[in-house]
Amino acid sequence: MSGPAAGSAYDSPAAVAARAAACRTWSELADAARRCTACPDLVRSRSTVVVGDAPAGSRVVFVGEAPGAEEDATGRPFVGRSGRLLDELLAEAGLDRAGVAVLNIVKCRPAGNRTPRAAETASCSGWLNRQLGMLAPEFIFTLGLSAMKHFLGGGLSLASARGTVHEVPAGRLVATYHPSAALRFGPLGAPRTALREDLATLAELLAGP
């Protein structure tokens, strides 16, 4: 587990945002994020900070909720069961995982895979906002309710947000279900069908004029 040195203070959200804004390269940001101490519970429970994958030239950024156990162990996002399903559905849609950026709104695994608290999401937003500023994606593809709410607020349900390309400051946003929901409801469940449809829509948008 990683954490702050004895006697050190936890970072405020403003300090996180300032530190992230000062980073000029992805490498600088990754190094700074790995030393983040903004969220006491996450600092105590994490094994690593999962900064995210950002291949050069990514036109789309997938944004999920938070790392799970395998992500915490490996330091990479979406490598567990949900990630393997995402890879499978990306391939079906003609999209290559190696060519898209994959991030989470929270970079550290919450104990027991609980939903991140609002304060944790707010504190971590400085890192995510700077990442999106660096990547300048054409499309943001949110996976799950927490990621959607981060960008669109709490006034929409995920079902109502689907099927529309939303304009947000960081780019054009498409919202869909998290692969974990697709796993939970099975191969014939509505979340997997929706995720498959929305990935096909994204592929069409990327191929458009």
Please indicate, yes or no, if residue 8 is contained in any of the structural domains: no
In a domain, 2, yes or no: no
Q: How far apart are CA 11 and CA 20, in angstroms?
A: 12
Instruction: Give the total number of structural domains in the chain.
Output: 1
**CATH number for the domain that contains residue 170:** 3.40.470.10
Q: The domain containing residue 143 runs over which residues?
A: 13-207
Would 1 be classed as within a structural domain?
Answer: no
For 15-58, how does the pLDDT look when each residue is reduced to its tens digit (9 = 90+)? 999 999 999 999 999 999 999 999 999 999 899 999 999 999 99
Residue 3 domain-assigned (yes or no): no
The widest CA-to-CA distance across the chain, in whole angstroms, is 56
Mean pLDDT of 132-140: 97
Q: What are phi and psi of 123, to 5 degrees?
A: -65, -40
Report yes or no on 4 lying in a domain: no
Look at residue 6 and tell me if it is in a domain: no
CA nearest 124: which of 46, 200, 207, 209?
A: 46
30 within domain boundaries:
yes
Classify residue 53 by its DSSP letter. Answer: B
**For residue 7, is it within any domain?**
no
pLDDT tens across 166-209, in order?
A: 999 999 999 999 999 999 999 999 999 999 999 999 999 999 87
Whole-angstrom distance, CA of residue 141 vs CA of residue 79:
17
In Å, what is the CA distance from 83 to each residue of 87, 108, 133, 186?
Answer: 6, 16, 24, 15
CA distances from 75 to 49, 53, 180, 186 (A): 6, 10, 19, 27
